[in-house]
């Protein structure tokens, strides 16, 4: 079957760095997405990786290793507003359907 | 450009009733996907429409159906509601339906089944 795993919850301190991991097993691979979802709001796009390596976008970076079925989202200089759920999603052997992880709830403490 | 809109935002129904939810994608977007989100389950894919055709469907019973109109607006229908159908229903649109397209989500419709 197809499966995406990410930690349920993580806690970090304001100003610090946190890494959220995502491992996947899918029957094919056509890209991996990270989304941010604040409580009560819709998910918003953070990053897209289709090739191995690191993609950097300001305070956020996303890494992909296709051979290991592994990705991580790195958040630097954490701010209180980064408290949210972070969703990992993989487009498998279909160009159309995304398979979603259950999300990682990130709690930022002062 | 206006974002994805969904109506209604909140809905309360009783078991056995049916419900229709509406989604208007971003102008120019031809692909509309529907998801069910419940605590601890993450986003569960319902179906995707592209140019009025359903081109992918998730593992939901036949009580869940949808359609897309020529203006790309989409509706989903749930018949014979069950308590377990209580969830946030999210609609997402993307421009061309290609693999790298990011999805733009609407605010969702929160359905409560009593």
Nearest residue, CB atoms, B100 vs list A43, A48, A101:
A48
- Fill in the DSSP letter of residue B26: P
Tell me which chain B residues have a C-beta less than 8 angstroms from the C-beta of A33.
102-103
Q: Are A43 and B44 within 8 A, CB to CB?
A: no
| Planar angle of CA B63, B60, B104, nearest 5 degrees | 105
Distance of CA B11 to the CA centre of its chain: 14
- Contact (Cβ atoms closer than 8 angstroms) between residue B103 and residue B93: yes
The pLDDT of residue A94 is 64
The percentage of chain B sitting over the pLDDT mark of 70, rounded to a whole number, equals 97
Tell me which chain B residues have a C-beta less than 8 angstroms from the C-beta of A45.
102-104
Give B64-85 pLDDT, tens digit per residue: 999 999 999 999 999 999 999 9
Q: Does B59 touch chain A (CB under 8 A)?
A: no
Q: Are B98 and A95 within 8 A, CB to CB?
A: yes
Encode A42-107 in three state secondary structure.
CCEEEEEECCCEEEEECCEEEEEECCCCEEEEEECCCCHHHCEEEEEEEECCCCCCEEECCCEEEE
Give B28-58 pLDDT, tens digit per residue: 999 999 999 998 778 999 999 999 999 888 8
Q: Are B99 and A98 within 8 A, CB to CB?
A: no
Question: Structure tokens of A60?
Answer: 């956020």
pLDDT confidence bin for A85, thresholds 50/70/90: very high
* Best CA proximity match to A43, nearest among B7, B4, B2, B12: B4
Give A25-80 pLDDT, tens digit per residue: 988 898 999 999 999 889 999 999 999 999 999 999 999 999 999 999 999 999 99
Q: Which residues contact A58 (CB under 8 A, 6 or more apart)?
A: none
């Amino acid at each position: 079957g197809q499966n995406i795993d990410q930690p349920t919850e993580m806690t970090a301190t304001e100003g610090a760095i946190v890494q959220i991991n995502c491992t996947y097993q899918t029957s094919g691979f056509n890209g991996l997405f990270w989304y941010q979802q604040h409580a009560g709001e819709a998910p918003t796009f953070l990053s897209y990786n289709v090739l191995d390596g690191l993609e950097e976008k300001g305070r956020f970076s996303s890494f992909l290793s296709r051979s290991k079925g592994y990705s991580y989202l790195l958040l630097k200089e954490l701010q209180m507003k980064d408290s949210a759920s972070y969703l990992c999603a993989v487009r498998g052997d279909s160009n159309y359907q995304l398979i979603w992880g259950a999300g990682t709830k990130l709690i930022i403490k002062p | 450009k206006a974002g994805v809109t969904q109506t209604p935002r909140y809905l309360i129904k009783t078991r056995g009733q049916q419900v229709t939810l509406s989604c208007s994608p971003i102008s120019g977007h031809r692909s509309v996907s529907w998801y069910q989100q419940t605590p601890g389950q993450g986003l569960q894919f319902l179906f995707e429409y592209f140019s009025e055709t359903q081109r992918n469907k998730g593992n939901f019973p036949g009580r869940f159906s949808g359609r897309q109109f020529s203006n790309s607006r989409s509706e989903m229908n749930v018949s014979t509601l069950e308590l377990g159908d209580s969830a946030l229903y999210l609609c997402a649109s993307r421009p061309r339906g290609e693999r790298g397209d990011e999805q733009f989500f609407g605010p969702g419709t929160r359905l409560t089944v009593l």
